[in-house]
Structure formats: C-alpha cells, structure tokens
Amino acid sequence: MTTYQSRKEVPVQEQWDLNDIYPSLQEWEKNFEAAKEKAEELKNYDGNINSAQSLLEFLTKQEELSLLFNKVYVYAMLSVDVDTRDSQAQSLLDRAKHAGVKISSATSFFMPFLLSLDEEQLKAYIAEEEGLRYFEEDLFDSFRYKSHILSKEQEQVVSRLGEALSSPSGTFNMINNADIQFGEVTKPDGEKVELTRGMYSKLIEEEDRNVRKEAYKAYYKPYLSLKNTIASTLSAAIKNNVAVAEIRNYPSALEKGLFGDNVPKEVYENLIRTTKENIASMHQYSALRKEKLGLDELRQYDLSTPLVSGVKLDISYEEAYQTMLEALAPLGSHYVDTLKEFKDARYIDVRETPGKRSGAYNLGLYGVHPFVLLNHQDDLDSLFTLAHEMGHAMHSYYSNKHQPKITAGYSIFVAEVASTVNEVLLINYLLNKEEDPQIRKHLLNHFIDQFKGTLFTQVMFAEFEMKTHELAEQGQPLNAEVFSQVYEKLFREYNGDTVVFDEEVKYGWSRIPHFYRPFYVYKYATGFASAIHLATKILDGDTETLKAYLEFLKSGSSDYPLELLKKTGVDLSTPEPIVNALNRFEELVEEFSQV
C-alpha cells in the first residue's frame, strides 16, 4: 500500500480540483462579500412582503443567495478537509460559518410570515404572479407544518429553550468524545497500546480471541462505570423529544420524527415487524459463526471477527476503479462512461495524507459537480467504499443535472439506495468472477456482515428508540436498569440464543450516538432493503426496473421519498421489499454454510 507523508507527494490526478469552484482566492472573496450584501438585502423584506411581486422577489433573491453561499461554504469546507491543519483554509471556513449564521438570521422571519398567511391568499398570489409557480410545491409543503407551529410568543419561548433541549446530546458527545478513556490493551504482537475507537474496530476483528476479549472488556469498562450518568442523559433526550412532540401537537414523538419525510408510522412499524418475522436466518448465521470459529460458546466479542482467515486482497486504486466500472455495467453505458469521466476530471480526492479528514463522503455542489473524499487503502473495504460513494456522486450528478435548484437535493431517506445498489452490483460481480474458494468465502462473509450491520442492527436500534419513547409517553421511569432490560431483550431476539451474554451486552445502549438523533437509523435499513430489492431485479435483467431506477436517480426531491421509491416498484408500506431483502440474506447465509 502506498503511504504519503504530505499532500505534495500525491499525484495531481488523485487530488480533486477546487479550481472548478473558484479559480482563485480573489474570486472566493468576491462571492463572500456578495453573499453578505445579498443577506442584508433580504433583511429588508421583513414586514414588507405584501404582494405577489414582493413575495417572488424575496424567494428569487433567497435562492440566488443559497446558490452563491453554497459555493462559498463548500470551497472553504473542502479546503479544510484535505488538511485540517491549514490555518488559511480554517480561517475561510470560520468566516463562512459566521456568515451562514447571519444569513440564517436575516431570513428567519420568512417561515413564521408564510405560515401566518391564509392558504387562499397564497393561492391568489401564485395565480397572479406566474413566477411563483416554480416555488409552489415548496411553499405548500411548508403549510403541512401549520398545525404544529405555535403562536409567535410561544415560538419565541421554544426557540429560547432550543439550546437547553439539545444539551443532553451535547453532554453525551463530551462524555463520549472528550472524557471517556479506554485504557491500554495488548496488540497481537504483545505491544501495549492506548485503546481508541479506531483501534477497537481493528482489534475486535483479530483472530486471537484473547485480544478480542481484552479489547471488548476495556472498551465497555468506562461505559459501565458511567451507566447511570449516561442513562440520565439519554432519558433527558427522550423526554425532551416527547415533550416537544406534545407541545407541537404531534400524536407521538415517532410521528414527529417521521413528519419531515412524510412517512406514516406504519412504514416504521412494518419494517420492525417484517424483520422480526423473518429473523430465523439471522439466528442461523449466529449458529454458523459459532461453528466456523470452532467455539464452545459464542460471545459478543466473537461477532465481528472475519470467519475466513488468511485472505488479504491488495487492490490498487486504478484496479479498484476499473473493477467498479465493470461491476456497474448493468446500469448502462451512460452511467459507466459518466463515472469514468469523474476520475479523469479530478472530482475525487483519493489518498490518506497527514491532517486529512478521516472517512469518506460525497458532496454534490449544484451548478458545479460532485466532489468525493476518500482515504483509499488499496484493500477490499476501500473498493466497497469507492463503489458506495460513487453511487452517491452519480445520484447527485443526475439530480443536479435534471432538477432545478429547488428540488435537486435528495432526502437522506433515499440517499443510501443509490450507494447500496452499487455495492450489491459489486459483490455480485466479484462473486461471479472469483474462482478461488477462500476468496469467495471471504467476499460472502464481508457482505453478510455488512447486511447484518446495516439492516438487522439498525432495525434493532430503531425498535429500541420506539420502545423507550413509548415508555416516556406512558410516564414510565427511564434509567440504566430500564434501558438495559429493553436492550438485552432486543439483542436476544435479534441475535438468537446461540450468543452467550457477558455483563457488557445489555449496556450497548450507552455507547450509541444515534440515539440522540431520534428516529433516524431506520433509514439505513429501509434504504438498504430498497437497494437489495432494486439491484436484484436489475441483475435479473428487468429493463423496466432499470429504467425506473435511472429516473429515480434524476428525481432529487421532486416528490416525497416514499413516492419516489414507489415509482421504482419499491413500496415500503408493504412487507414485500423487506421480505425480498431478507430472503437474499437467507440465500447468502445458505451459500456461505455450503462453502
């Protein structure tokens, strides 16, 4: 694997080209000043929107500002992410963030104003001024919130409480990221190292079971010692969420959480129910894992280690990109040719270098193009990460090309569909091509574990959130003991009786940051199930599904997420897509058991 000591060593072709946003810092400065001026202009509309023409003027200028400021902000953010130590880039980002707060403040009057309008008045404005039709759907979507908006005075009170209501999340983040120390553990070579989350994710996959056990015990130790404090924090977050849902006249906290995407609670409940009705293959996998590892007892620290030893695939970036292009051939020549252009046109920042932001992401900048950040390590995980992020990038590319600014951005609810379809096509291609039985087993194991983590584990988390919020709504106590009882019961239901429980298992709830962003994780599972459903049909040669899927990629947020998916043949209000995905999991487990 190639390692680089500085960004200067990385081939130019493997660095993204920010000149596509601004060819010089002077251009950035010019747009930065223009954005501030436009924000001042918008402020003047507060109390002065009293006609169709003035409404259109405001909305048009607001969109112009959004386009301009997005470029300013993204340029600064991308500059920082390739080297977080770059003080000049950090200064640009700090200035952009500060300007963003001012812009938000300058336009904050608009939503209360809009919702104070009579619906008939808004219709009359739109009938009078043709240009308002462009904004019509967006304006009326805001009206969905009307019954959940309070009086001006009450809104001011809730707004002032905002920081206090979000403090449990902030407290947990400080505990989790700043205060918790995991101590030292022994690496396989006998070296003592300080345990970090990154190190834990490596050690929990080690072949040496004693190393896994030591890392597991050390990782959970601080959470167990702080279980009552963290329980108090999580309890406050849940109760705050329930209280705000009641204040804003939502039937439940769950329905408040689903409202933005216009998702009925039946979809959430269907996901959980259908997964649990088809859980047998997950239990079978636990039993298979115990058998393959040759263990008398399967414990939680045995659930992440690969079941196929001695397989390490070296895949260069060039080879990975070519493999991905070949794997995605079922999506058509335009899709593949466009992806090839992304690489040649330097839309991707490939290599890990000192100071670079960790992980991977895609950012689709409207009016420019997608930018993809990687930290490519020339291995199998990096190949899958590449396919995943380029799925997001193609979604951004198609939506930005075919949608106006107002509907180009897609919801997180549908975001994981495009990325996961690519991963399913990739694993299918690799399995069909690979003849080495050990590598085939390794690939199957890799995909099964990804399936488990993205669907089963996230559904389990989603059910934990639902049950704990229901307890709060019933006025029941929430504390470490209650959380542990709920979590342990769910862990047993999802993982089966094969797993022998250590004391730590039931405290899994104490380390999950997503629980402070309620009713979010289920989207990983619905997105994954939808992608499996679509990719399977595409691989079966279903041309109608392929055509509908490519249209979906061009749709942005032109409709609500569930409706966009229905047009591809995926109806998440029914069990079918979930069942189809779980059937595929069962097939993978069955195939793995035979090799």
11-21 pLDDT per residue, tens: 999 999 999 99
Residue 377, both tokens: 């390590």
User: Quick one: average pLDDT of 576-582?
Assistant: 95
Q: At what angle do helices 87-107 and 52-82 cross, to 10 degrees?
A: 160
Q: In the chain, what percentage of residues exceed pLDDT 70?
A: 99
> What pLDDT was estimated at residue 265?
97
pLDDT over threshold 70, residue 207: yes
The domains located in the chain, with CATH, are 9-164 (1.20.140.70)
**Sheet strand arrangement including 361-364:** 348-351, 370-376, 361-364
| CB-based contacts of 582, cutoff 8 Å, min separation 6 | 274, 275, 278, 281, 455, 529
226-252 pLDDT per residue, tens: 999 999 999 999 999 999 999 999 999
> What pLDDT was estimated at residue 2?
61
Q: Residue 375, SS3?
A: strand
What is the model's pTM?
0.90
pLDDT over threshold 60, residue 480: yes
pLDDT band at 261 (very low <50, low <70, confident <90, very high): very high
> What pLDDT was estimated at residue 1?
52
156-206 pLDDT per residue, tens: 788 778 778 889 998 998 898 888 899 999 888 889 988 988 789 889 999
For residue 351, the cross-strand partners are 376
Residue 207 has φ and ψ, to the nearest 5°, of: -70, -35
pLDDT over threshold 60, residue 577: yes
User: Quick one: average pLDDT of 526-545?
Assistant: 95
DSSP line for 462-480 = HHHHHHHHHHHHTT---SH
User: Quick one: average pLDDT of 500-529?
Assistant: 95
Active site residues: 389
For residue 186, the cross-strand partners are 192
User: Quick one: average pLDDT of 90-105?
Assistant: 91
pLDDT over threshold 70, residue 464: yes
User: Quick one: average pLDDT of 97-111?
Assistant: 88
pLDDT over threshold 80, residue 151: no
Mean pLDDT (the chain) is 94
> What pLDDT was estimated at residue 87?
93
